[in-house]
Amino acid sequence: MRIDVITLFPELVEQVIAYGVVGRAAEQNLLELHCWNPRDFTRDRHRTVDDRPYGGGPGMLMKVQPLEHAIAAVRQQNPGASLVYLSPQGQLLKQQKLERQVASGSVIFLCGRYEGIDERLIQREVDEEWSLGDYVISGGELAAMVCIDAMTRLIPGALGHDESAQQDSFSAGLLDCPHYTRPEEYRGDRVPEVLMNGNHRDIETWREQQALGRTWQRRPELLDNIRLDARQQALLDEYIAEFEKTRKR
Ligand code: 9WO
């Protein structure tokens, strides 16, 4: 997977391949990260990368010329890749979108700073706008780093066996089950008995039921996108019955 990032802060973005799963994937050459700084494409003595907005108002925009030439340089090296602009104006990012982007083998992230970029550049150069949520952060870099991490976890071979098992739950469209570790009793609360008796089939069933139940409780709309088989539906029905029973007590 090749990922190019156009950013005024390459040192910030490069931190994403310094640790953990993404770091290991980069070491194993499962992931190639290339950062491109528009400042390296400036043509004035002061290496200007911002410009005043037409119509006045607070703040600056990213200067068009350095961005345009940075994009051209990236496209020369990564011609087929989609160019994604991270912005609150984008489509809300879903796991499926990331899966598709990983399957494509490459992506170019454009990270905005200041108040953003010229709309004509978006219209001409941006293939997709992605949003991580309805909030504003200081730049697109942190959003790009989240995307890089989430996409890397989807690259075959990037996760160890255990990690990929946990990832599978969300890739199946469900929330994760609860997890427990020592001590067996924490401030009066015991670990669920099923996790202590060592029956792997029972544990697997309990974890699947918990994932189904928590999804139903916390994000019911996710279940609209999943076709549950009869066994899963029975597990969820049992969870709901138990939930309703405890609620009535
Ligand atoms: C700034 C802004 C302020 C008020 C209302 C909407 C707004 N959108 C932006 C904006 O798109 N800013 C650009 C990118 C440039 C400045 C920093 N940027 C940014 C990206 N802020 N927040 C994001 C972002 C990206 C992906 N998912 C959520 C937020």
Residue 160 lies in a domain: no
Both 94 and 192 in one domain: the answer is no
Q: Which residues have C-beta within 8 Å of that of residue 219, sequence separation ≥ 6?
A: 175
Residue 165 lies in a domain: no
Does residue 87 line the site of ligand 1, with CB under 6 A?
yes
192 is catalytic: no
Both 134 and 198 in one domain: the answer is no
pLDDT digits (tens, 9 = 90+) for 48-98: 999 999 999 999 999 999 999 999 999 999 999 999 999 999 999 999 999
Both 30 and 137 in one domain: the answer is yes
Residue 164 lies in a domain: no
Residue 196, pLDDT above cutoff 80:
yes
Residue 179 lies in a domain: no
Alpha-carbon Rg for the chain, nearest whole angstrom, is 23
Task: Please report the atom of ligand 1 found closest to the CA of residue 134.
Answer: 28
Residue 172 lies in a domain: no
If DSSP codes are grouped into helix, strand and coil, which group holds residue 106?
strand
Task: Give the Å distance between the CA of 24 and the centre of ligand 1.
Answer: 30
Both 220 and 144 in one domain: the answer is no
Does residue 143 line the site of ligand 1, with CB under 6 A?
yes
Q: Of all residues in the chain, what percent carry a pLDDT higher than 90? A: 93
pLDDT of residue 8: 98
Both 105 and 204 in one domain: the answer is no
Residue 21, pLDDT above cutoff 70:
yes
Tokens matching residue 100 = 């598709």
69/86 Cα distance (integer angstroms): 19
Residue 188, pLDDT above cutoff 70:
yes
Helix count and strand count (H, E) for the chain:
9, 9
Give the CATH number for residue 8. 3.40.1280.10
Residue 9 lies in a domain: yes
Both 127 and 215 in one domain: the answer is no
Residue 12: exposed, middle, or buried by beta-carbon count in 10 A (0-12, 13-18, 19+)?
Answer: middle
Does residue 122 line the site of ligand 1, with CB under 6 A?
no
Both 200 and 104 in one domain: the answer is no
Both 138 and 22 in one domain: the answer is yes
- Among 87, 89, 117, which is best to mutate for testing ligand 1, by the most ligand atoms less than 8 A from CB? 87
Q: Of 2, 14, 68, 88, which one is the catalytic site residue? A: 88
pLDDT digits (tens, 9 = 90+) for 102-138: 999 999 999 999 999 999 999 999 999 999 999 999 9
Atom 2 in ligand 1: residue holding the nearest Cα: 136
115 is catalytic: yes
Both 136 and 196 in one domain: the answer is no
38 is catalytic: no
Both 198 and 148 in one domain: the answer is no
This prediction has a pTM of 0.93
Atom 24 in ligand 1: residue holding the nearest Cα: 87
How many Cβ atoms sit within 10 Å of the Cβ of residue 182? 7
Give the mean model confidence (pLDDT) for residues 155-162.
88
Both 84 and 205 in one domain: the answer is no
Domain-terminating residue out of 131, 152, 173:
152
Give the CATH number for residue 200. 1.10.1270.20
pLDDT of residue 162: 66
- How is residue 225 annotated by DSSP? G
CB 98 within 8 A of CB 158: no
Q: Which of 85, 82, 37, 43 is nearest to 65 (CA)?
A: 43
pLDDT of residue 160: 82
Both 57 and 134 in one domain: the answer is yes
Burial 126-140 (b: 16+ CB within 10 A, else e): beeebbbeeeeeebb
Q: Which domain holds residue 237?
A: 185-248
Residue 163, pLDDT above cutoff 80:
no
pLDDT band at 161; cut points 50, 70, 90: confident
Residue 163 lies in a domain: no
CB 152 within 8 A of CB 1: yes
How many structural domains does the chain have?
A: 2
Q: Which residues have C-beta within 8 Å of that of residue 208, sequence separation ≥ 6?
A: 177, 232, 235
- HEC letters along 30-88: CCEEEEECHHHHCCCCCCCCEECCCCCCCCCEECHHHHHHHHHHHHHHCCCCCEEEEEE
Domain-terminating residue out of 152, 173, 198:
152
